[in-house]
Amino acid sequence: MKDRLEQLKATCDQDDDEVEIAVDNAAFMDEFFSQIEDIRSSIDKIDENVAEVKKLYSVILSAPTSDQKTQDDLEAITNDIKKKANNARNKLKTIERNLESEQQERVSADMRIRKSQHAVLSRKFVEVMTKYNEAQVDFRERSKGRIQRQLEITGKATTDEELEEMLESGNAAVFTAGIVDSGISKQALSEIEARHKDIVRLESSIKELHDMFVDIAMLVESQGSLCLPLCRK
């Protein structure tokens, strides 16, 4: 009888341990899914912002010079994209590190769920950020084309290589030197200078996001599902 009581007590203790583990695991997964929702929310907002950025790019390109409000709106949205992208990137990398360190500790079913959620959001993040980068590159090329056309009007035709060298100099005077007195209109000069400023601002944004793009590429490298056309040239 004594042995039987001890056996029952041991069984009860084991059941209690299993219940405690189940409760702890449920709480752990609740916290994980809360993180996932936060990341998904950031990515969805970035996607919305990218659509707005494209609209603002079109507005800027449709006029010889863009008004200050448009530029301010673009800067605000660009900063919000950067902030939310950093948030999503950091959380995805934290989950990735946790998955690696807890590989042998967690229940296999939970681990599969976490890996799957992480992979899905990583790919979605890459897709959205790649879309943003493509919009930036397209805007840069179209702005460059506007500068090239205005220079051609003044008789100062340039090759793509020469124009790139001018852009790299970061000095608008390089574009207008020697043509100020050639009869070019004030509007044409203003457009050349405005497009140059647009490109300078854009280059700054691309450089700021470069490290993030590298991290994103490394984040999904093991999945081998996407390739990032992140850098121009």
CATH number (domain holding residue 112): 1.20.58.70
Write the CB contacts of 127 (distance below 8 Å, at least 6 apart in sequence). 226
DSSP assignments along 146-157, one per residue: HHHHHHHHTT--
Let me know if 181 is exposed, middle or buried by CB neighbors in 10 A (0-12, 13-18, 19+). Answer: exposed
105 in any annotated domain: yes
232 in any annotated domain: no
pLDDT, tens only, 22-42: 445 677 788 889 999 999 999
Q: Say which residue, 19 or 72, is predicted with more confidence.
A: 72
Residue range(s) defining the domain that contains residue 137: 2-221
216 in any annotated domain: yes
Write the CB contacts of 75 (distance below 8 Å, at least 6 apart in sequence). 201
Average pLDDT over all residues of the chain: 78
95 in any annotated domain: yes
Residues 134-138 have a mean pLDDT of 93
132 in any annotated domain: yes
pLDDT, tens only, 143-171: 888 888 887 777 777 788 878 887 877 66
231 in any annotated domain: no
108: which 2 tokens? 């296999």
pTM: 0.76
184 in any annotated domain: yes
Query: How many domains are contained in the chain?
Result: 1
Quick one: DSSP state of residue 104?
Answer: T
Task: For tokens 């280059």, name the residue.
Answer: 203
Gap between the Cα atoms of 129 and 228, Å rounded = 9
Gap between the Cα atoms of 114 and 33, Å rounded = 9
94: which 2 tokens? 């934290």
103 in any annotated domain: yes
